[in-house]
Amino acid sequence: MMKRILVPTDGSASASVGLRYAVALAKRIGAKLYGLHVVDVKLLEGPFLRDVSASLGTAPYVNYQGNIALILEERGRAALETFENACEEAGVEFETAQMTGVVPRMIIEKSELADLLVMGYGGEHSEWLDGLVGSTTATVARRAKLPVLVTSTDTPGTQRFVVAYDGSAHARAALRTAAEIARAWGLTCHVLVVGETEAAALLDEARSYLQTHELTAEYVLRPGDPSETIVEYARECDADLLVMGAYGHTKVRELVVGSTTAYALNHAPCPLLLSR
């Protein structure tokens, strides 16, 4: 059961979308939210401060480090205050924390005692990404050990979700997550297998697992490129959520042919839940 949801926030518009989604989801399933702001230690390091001082034509380190630290900490407190207000207004139980460190690393460390991590697609620079997922979000999605939900919409849907299944270890974890979502979130499950040679057997494997959970599901077999077909089917059936394994192939294959997960992160028409 997903009872502890971690929500990183930097106060950006994208993070606010993730926060609103998490609040609505927590209210629906009775979960507790944990708000986290990480002061980026890279902004406090020498090279950054030297660049600032050089651009201003002044001596380095004239209170810059202390002043920048205060500004960043204050920004974090403001982001967490927004988080607290949203939770209180919705009647959702919550805790907050502010830490200093490398942002993705601290988020992953804090997530070790959570059941789900919810993030917006981008961060404070998301307006420059032209629809692409932010670097922090991409790093966390790749390395975190728990399910990561990435969203660009602030309202959880109530109709249907798609789970993509390819028989990999991460896909099997996604299938287990799908069973929980169908039961706890009250969504109809669509199981999608993309391929030809072994696709029918994989679809039967998924059907056998979900039938033991007594869930109502639709099973779909499609040919084509997995990356594009998964995204197209999610759009076609107007999915409220896309669930799939996180980086199901080997690292070598990801480097050579690209990653279905990375494609879905940047092109999914709905919130994306990556499972391990």
Q: Are residues 205 and 99 both part of a single domain?
A: no
Last residue of a domain, one of 105, 122, 151: 151
In contact, 161 and 240? CB cutoff 8 Å: yes
pLDDT at 45: 67
Indicate the burial class of 166 (C-beta count within 10 angstroms; 0-12, 13-18, 19 or more). Answer: buried
The amino acid that residue 219 corresponds to is Y
Note down the domain range covering 35. Answer: 4-151
The CA–CA distances, whole Å, from 117 to 33, 48, 67, 97, 184 equal 10, 30, 32, 15, 17
- What's the number of domains the chain is made of? 2
Q: What is the CATH number of the domain that holds 88?
A: 3.40.50.620
Q: Are residues 139 and 198 both part of a single domain?
A: no
Q: Are residues 110 and 164 both part of a single domain?
A: no
26-58 per-position pLDDT tens digit: 999 999 999 999 999 887 765 544 554 445 454
Give the tokens for residue 243. 């669930």
Report the predicted TM-score, pTM, of the whole model to 2 decimal places.
0.86
Q: Are residues 144 and 166 both part of a single domain?
A: no
Averaged pLDDT, 136-152: 92
**How many other C-beta atoms can be found within 10 angstroms of the C-beta atom of residue 219?**
15
More confident residue, 270 or 68: 270
The CA–CA distances, whole Å, from 89 to 11, 85, 142, 231, 271 equal 18, 6, 33, 35, 24
Three-class secondary structure of residue 274 per DSSP: strand
